[in-house]
Amino acid sequence: AQTVTQSQPEMSVQEAETVTLSCTYDTSENNYYLFWYKQPPSRQMILVIRQEAYKQQNATENRFSVNFQKAAKSFSLKISDSQLGDTAMYFCASVNQAGTALIFGKGTTLSVSS
101 binds another protein (CB under 8 A): yes
- Nearest distance from C-beta of residue 98 to another protein, angstroms: 8
State residue 85 phi and psi, 5-degree precision.
-70, -10
41 binds another protein (CB under 8 A): no
What is the C-alpha to C-alpha distance for residues 36 and 23, in angstroms, rounded to an integer?
A: 9
Task: Using CB under 8 A, pick the residue from 30, 44, 56, 114 that binds another protein.
Answer: 44
**Per-residue buried b or exposed e for 16-27, using 16+ beta carbons within 10 Å of the residue's own CB:** eeebebbbbbeb
Catalog residues that contact another protein under the rule CB under 8 A: 6, 9, 33, 35, 37, 43-45, 47, 50, 91, 93, 95-96, 99-107
